[in-house]
Every structure is written in structure tokens, then in C-alpha cells.
């Protein structure tokens, strides 16, 4: 039977934490459902915890977000190639990577209600310390010493490891031999395809392989709407470098003056807050050790800022020793100030040559590459693995775009035009102007997603578009019939300007691509 949906969004919890805009995660879930961005999955049957369906607007926006990520990280670079791997693959991939044996979280049970929780999350919430990566024994000790109870105030069981991999069976005969896994991350497919991409891609070190797609984790306690789901999407890059050239980052000048909010291990130990410093300072003071790591952290921040995320709500936080995987020399999380606190949005780890070496060992295939310079074979190192969740990014852009504009009396979703589900809405002032308005709509609908709306007062129609993030409204009035001009209204300022219908398509293209500002029209 389907698990009762923890993510049903009909009722708001009283203690929903709030952002600086007064908007909690449950409010966001309600808004997303009401406007057709995201629905709880299979809600007519009571839902399914940790699963969501993107609605008409959410699908458009998510596709736009993914497209712009791909353009920025793959299509506009010569050193990154993309793949699109299968969700189910030979289970040996997951044995080699270590997922089959120990990809999991530590679980504790409320001894009275039998509800299950992630031990590290309970401890983080109760004691305000980072507990991710601690062993069941260490978590058990913390629970005992600090008398941590379940959210309902009951005793907790001893913590134990819980594997998050979903299993399935492949083929008509179901047995232990037909068992397979749904991928828990997209990264391992990159490693198993490494040699194929290298040999066909005509590429030299340093280079990256990118992939976006679905991942599945049987999360112990999915919650906070899209933040922690059991089915979600990732956008990941494995960036490979020569092991002897881990510090040669030829792109560092692109980001050297960029500023970021940084919270190093040292600062965390001293109880300090994040500091806004430049990449140059962070490298000079050895706060960030590797130029490649600094480069990718800055690049990721650039991407978020370019598409409308507020840099004040983003910071990079270094992992402490307890949080680091045993093979990782350094890891930084890009964190976002969610309504319930700073939380991971993207992990950017140095994974050394761990994964390739594991796949060499288990597959017995040679995954090294020939280095022309030294005339030797090398196994490249992953100096940075930017690993980002699509759904968490979706939330970030929604939170930072959401503006309850009291003056206007409606919500204005200030999405970047590239991310907006509809780029424009065509609105005839009165019904008599319908045929002209339809002709305008038909002239642009193949160039951009466009909404046609003839019902309600013009003010109400503007408000409806503001609420779903449409950056421009195109109004057809009686003058249009005489002079072939329409009015474009800018969502962010409500300013209006007249443009010839013959120039409309080009003007819209320039506005959406940031080639001109509305005020310059
Ligand atoms: P967390 O500590 O929050 O469980 P993680 O460290 O396990 O995350 P990674 O394995 O580093 O996450 O995955 C990379 C990215 O994938 C995360 O930064 C996040 O954006 C996304 N992600 C991971 N798990 C989930 C999930 N259950 N639901 C939605 N997105 C997720």
C-alpha cells in the first residue's frame, strides 16, 4: 500500500519556518500546487511520500532551467562533453562504486510511534551541529549524551545503517541474479562510460563529462517539499585532470575577482559566520587549496546569479573531517539559505582517482589514458565534481523570484525571462479585437512560449501573468488597428511601451536574451 503522503500540501504546518520574505517551504508547496507548477504525485490515491509531478508551468520552467544549465556547462565550453546514460545498468557498477554495500544514511526509530528518522538530521536540528557522515556509534553517543528525543518527545532506538538504493528485477525470471538498482546518482554512469567518451570525444586532459537525469534514493524521511524526494534529478560534472597537474587551472582568471560567501572548516571551528571574500584572497590565504576547486565553486555561483538567484542567499561551506568521504581530499557544499536554515544545494568534491580505480579493479578493464607529454599511461583525477539537484535549484529560483508586492496587490514571480514558463502573454483589450490579437499571437507563438488570454479585466489579466512569472504582456487596443502598434508591459516595473508589430518578434528575442533592457526600448 502506498505510504501516506508526508508531502501532501493541503494543510500548512503551524511551525513552518519562514524566509526573510515570510514565505515558508509549505507556503511554497501550496503556491506551486495552486498555480500548476508542482503537484504531490498520485494525490487522488492519497499521494506517495517523496514523489512529485511537475505541472504545466513547472515542466516548462524545469526544462528551461535544465536547458540553461546544459548551455552554460556543456554547449558553451570546449572542455566538457555530455552524455545521457541509462537509469538501470549492470549492478556491478554499484558494487564497484561502493553504493551497493554502503550508500546510506543512519536511521533511528521512535520507539513508541515507530516513525523513522535520519539520525544526523534529528541531531542537527536538536543540537545545531553538523552530524552528516558520523557513524551509527558516534550518532548513538550524541543521542545518549544529549538526551535527544524524537520530534514527538519519545525515546529513540539505537541508530543503524540503512541503504538508500532502490532495487528492481530485470528480465522474465526473478531471482537474486536478476536484481538490479535504480541509479542513486548520475555520476557513476559517467565513470563507467569514461573510456568510451575519451576515445570518441577527441579531447585532452583536463576535461569534464556532464550528465543530467533522474536519480532515486529511498530516503528515510522525505520532507521539505522538493528538497528531499525519493525520485529527483541531478546535473553533474566529473572534471578530470592529470594527477601531476592538479593545480594548473588555465581558467582561473575568469573568476579571480569574483566574490563569494565563504565558510571554511577553520571558521566553523571558531564559531564564525561566513565572510564575503574574493577567489584571489581565498586562494592566497589558502582558505581554498585548489585553484580548480575555487574555479568550479565560483562558476556555479556565477550560474545561479546569472539566472536570478540572490548571491546573499548563497554561500560555500567546507566539509569537516567527519563529513569527508575517505577518498576525498576536500569538499565544499554550495548552500542556500532555505526557510529552515542553510542547506546543501550542490556538493563540489575532489574525488581523486577513487572511482576510476574502483572500476578498473572491478571490471578488470584498462581505464587509464596515454599522456603524450610524459609518454606514460595515467589514471586521471577528478579534481572537482559539481553535483547539483534540479529540484533543489528549482526551489532556489522560485524562492528568490517570489515577491508578495503589496503595492500591486498581487504576487510577482520575478523569474529570469529564460526560466519563465511563458515569455509573453497576448491580451486583446476587448473581445472585438480578438482577430487582430490572434494574428499577433500566431506571429510569435513558434518563437517563444506564449499565453493567450481574453478573459477578465486587463488589470486582472496582468496580475495573473505576474503571478506565474510571465515577463512581458502584449496588449492589443483600438489604436493597433490604425497604426499596427502594440503595447508591451514589463512585469518587473509595470512600465509600458509601444512597438510596431513588425518589430515585435525581434524586440522580444532581444529582451529575453538580455541584449537590451526594457528601459532602452
Ligand atoms: P543530503 O546530505 O542533503 O542528503 P547528499 O550529500 O546526499 O545530500 P549528493 O549525494 O551530494 O547529496 O547529491 C548531489 C545533489 O543532489 C545534492 O546537493 C542535492 O542538490 C541533490 N539531491 C540529493 N539527494 C536529494 C534528494 N533526496 N532530493 C532532492 N535532491 C537531492
Q: Angle CA(317)–CA(321)–CA(323) in degrees, nearest 5?
A: 65
Kindly state whether residues 455 and 334 are assigned to the same domain: no
How many whole angstroms from 334 Cα to the centroid of ligand 1?
11
Residue 167 and residue 180 in contact, taking contact as beta carbons nearer than 8 Å: yes
Cell of 320: 569537516
Cell of 284: 592566497
CATH code for the domain in which residue 377 is found: 3.30.930.10
Q: Which residue among 69, 118, 347, 386 has the greatest number of ligand 1 atoms within 8 angstroms of its CB, and so is best to mutate?
A: 347
Cell of 19: 524566509
163 part of a folded domain: no
Kindly state whether residues 393 and 436 are assigned to the same domain: no
Domain residue limits at 359: 16-89+182-399
Label the pairing between strands 259-263 and 275-278.
antiparallel
pLDDT by residue (tens digit) across 13-68?
333 344 557 899 999 999 999 999 999 999 999 999 999 999 999 999 999 999 99
State the pLDDT at residue 89. Answer: 97
Kindly state whether residues 379 and 466 are assigned to the same domain: no
**Domain tally, the chain:** 2
Nearest to 508, CA basis, from 480, 485, 484, 488? 488
44 part of a folded domain: yes
pLDDT by residue (tens digit) across 142-164?
999 999 999 999 999 999 999 99
pLDDT by residue (tens digit) across 78-123?
999 999 999 999 999 999 999 999 898 999 999 999 999 999 999 9
How many whole angstroms from 371 Cα to the centroid of ligand 1?
35
10 part of a folded domain: no
Kindly state whether residues 361 and 493 are assigned to the same domain: no
State the pLDDT at residue 332. Answer: 96
Kindly state whether residues 358 and 488 are assigned to the same domain: no
Backbone angles phi, psi at 259, to 5 degrees: -105, 145
CA 354, CA 125: separation in Å to the nearest integer?
Answer: 32
Q: Which residue among 233, 332, 392, 393 has the greatest number of ligand 1 atoms within 8 angstroms of its CB, and so is best to mutate?
A: 392
CATH code for the domain in which residue 499 is found: 3.40.50.800
Label the pairing between strands 314-318 and 259-263.
parallel
Q: Is 470 helix (H, G, I), strand (E, B) or coil?
A: coil
Kindly state whether residues 188 and 72 are assigned to the same domain: yes
Look at ligand 1, atom 1, and give the residue with the nearest C-alpha.
Answer: 344
Label the pairing between strands 207-216 and 80-83.
parallel
Residue 340 and residue 228 in contact, taking contact as beta carbons nearer than 8 Å: no
Kindly state whether residues 193 and 328 are assigned to the same domain: yes
229 part of a folded domain: yes
Residue 314 and residue 301 in contact, taking contact as beta carbons nearer than 8 Å: yes
Q: Is 401 helix (H, G, I), strand (E, B) or coil?
A: helix
Q: How confident is the model at residue 4 (pLDDT cuts 50, 70, 90)?
A: very low
Kindly state whether residues 188 and 278 are assigned to the same domain: yes
Average pLDDT, the chain: 93
The number of the ligand 1 atom at minimal distance from the alpha carbon of 333 is 18
Q: How confident is the model at residue 329 (pLDDT cuts 50, 70, 90)?
A: confident
Kindly state whether residues 431 and 395 are assigned to the same domain: no
pTM over 0.95: no
Q: How confident is the model at residue 183 (pLDDT cuts 50, 70, 90)?
A: very high
Residue 101 and residue 95 in contact, taking contact as beta carbons nearer than 8 Å: yes
Axis-axis angle for helices 25-35, 390-401 (nearest 10):
90
Question: Quick one: 365 exposed, middle or buried, by C-beta within 10 A (0-12, 13-18, 19+)?
Answer: exposed
Kindly state whether residues 193 and 51 are assigned to the same domain: yes
CA 509, CA 516: separation in Å to the nearest integer?
Answer: 9
Backbone angles phi, psi at 163, to 5 degrees: -80, 130
Residue 245 scores a pLDDT above 60 = yes
Give residue ranges with CB within 6 A of ligand 1.
132, 185, 217, 219, 228-229, 232, 234, 344-347, 387-389, 391-392
Look at ligand 1, atom 20, and give the residue with the nearest C-alpha.
Answer: 389
37 part of a folded domain: yes
Amino acid at each position: 500500500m502506498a505510504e501516506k503522503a508526508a508531502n501532501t500540501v493541503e494543510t500548512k504546518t503551524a511551525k513552518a519556518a519562514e524566509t526573510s520574505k515570510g514565505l515558508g517551504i509549505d507556503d511554497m508547496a501550496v503556491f506551486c500546487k495552486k498555480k500548476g507548477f508542482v503537484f504531490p504525485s498520485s494525490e487522488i490515491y492519497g499521494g506517495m511520500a517523496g514523489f512529485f509531478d511537475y505541472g504545466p508551468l513547472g515542466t516548462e520552467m524545469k526544462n528551461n532551467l535544465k536547458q540553461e544549465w546544459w548551455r552554460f556547462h556543456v554547449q558553451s565550453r570546449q572542455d566538457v562533453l555530455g552524455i545521457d546514460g541509462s537509469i538501470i545498468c549492470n549492478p556491478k557498477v554499484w558494487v564497484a562504486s561502493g553504493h551497493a554495500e554502503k550508500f546510506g544514511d543512519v536511521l533511528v526509530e521512535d520507539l513508541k510511534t515507530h516513525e523513522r528518522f535520519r539520525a544526523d538530521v534529528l541531531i542537527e536540528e536538536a543540537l545545531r551541529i553538523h552530524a552528516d557522515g558520523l557513524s551509527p556509534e558516534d550518532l548513538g553517543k550524541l543521542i545518549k549524551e544529549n538526551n535527544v528525543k524524537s520530534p514527538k518527545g519519545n525515546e529513540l532506538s539505537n541508530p543503524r545503517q540503512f541503504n538508500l538504493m532502490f532495487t528492481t528485477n530485470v528480465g522474465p525470471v526473478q531471482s537474486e541474479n536478476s536484481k538490479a538498482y535504480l541509479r542513486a546518482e548520475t555520476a557513476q554512469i559517467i565513470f563507467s562510460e569514461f573510456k568510451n567518451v575519451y576515445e570518441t570525444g577527441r579531447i585532452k586532459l583536463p576535461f569534464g563529462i556532464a550528465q543530467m537525469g533522474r536519480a532515486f534514493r529511498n530516503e528515510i524521511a522525505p520532507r521539505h517539499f522538493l528538497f528531499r524526494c525519493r525520485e529527483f534529478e541531478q546535473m553533474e560534472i566529473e572534471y578530470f585532470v592529470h594527477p601531476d597537474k592538479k593545480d594548473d587551472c588555465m581558467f582561473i582568471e575568469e573568476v579571480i575577482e569574483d566574490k563569494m560567501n565563504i565558510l571554511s572548516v577553520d571558521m566553523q571551528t571558531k564559531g564564525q559566520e561566513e565572510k564575503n571574500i574574493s577567489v584571489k584572497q581565498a586562494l592566497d590565504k589558502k582558505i581554498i587549496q585548489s585553484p580548480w576547486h575555487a574555479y568550479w565553486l565560483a562558476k556555479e555561483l556565477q550560474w545561479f546569479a546569472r539566472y536570478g538567484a540572490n548571491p546573499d542567499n548563497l554561500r560555500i561551506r567546507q566539509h569537516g573531517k567527519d563529513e569527508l568521504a575517505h577518498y576525498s581530499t576536500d569538499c565544499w557544499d554550495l548552500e542556500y539559505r532555505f526557510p529552515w536554515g542553510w542547506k546543501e544545494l550542490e556538493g563540489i568534491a575532489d574525488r581523486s582517482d577513487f572511482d576510476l580505480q574502483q572500476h578498473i579493479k572491478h571490471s578488470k578493464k584498462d581505464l587509464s589514458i596515454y599522456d603524450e607529454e610524459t609518454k606514460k599511461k595515467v589514471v586521471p583525477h577528478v579534481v572537482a565534481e559539481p553535483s547539483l539537484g534540479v529540484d533543489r535549484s528549482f526551489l532556489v529560483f522560485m524562492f528568490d523570484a517570489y515577491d508578495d508586492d503589496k503595492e500591486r496587490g498581487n504576487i510577482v514571480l520575478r523569474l529570469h525571462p529564460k526560466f519563465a514558463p511563458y515569455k509573453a502573454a497576448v491580451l486583446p483589450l476587448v473581445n472585438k479585437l480578438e482577430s487582430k490579437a490572434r494574428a499577433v499571437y500566431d506571429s510569435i507563438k513558434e518563437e517563444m512560449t506564449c499565453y493567450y488570454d481574453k478573459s477578465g479585466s486587463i488589470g486582472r489579466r496582468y496580475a495573473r501573468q505576474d503571478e506565474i512569472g510571465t515577463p512581458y504582456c502584449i496588449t492589443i487596443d483600438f489604436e493597433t488597428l490604425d497604426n499596427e502598434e502594440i503595447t508591451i508591459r514589463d512585469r518587473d516595473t509595470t512600465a509600458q511601451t509601444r512597438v510596431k508589430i513588425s518589430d515585435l518578434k525581434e524586440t522580444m528575442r532581444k529582451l529575453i536574451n538580455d541584449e537590451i533592457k526594457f528601459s532602452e526600448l
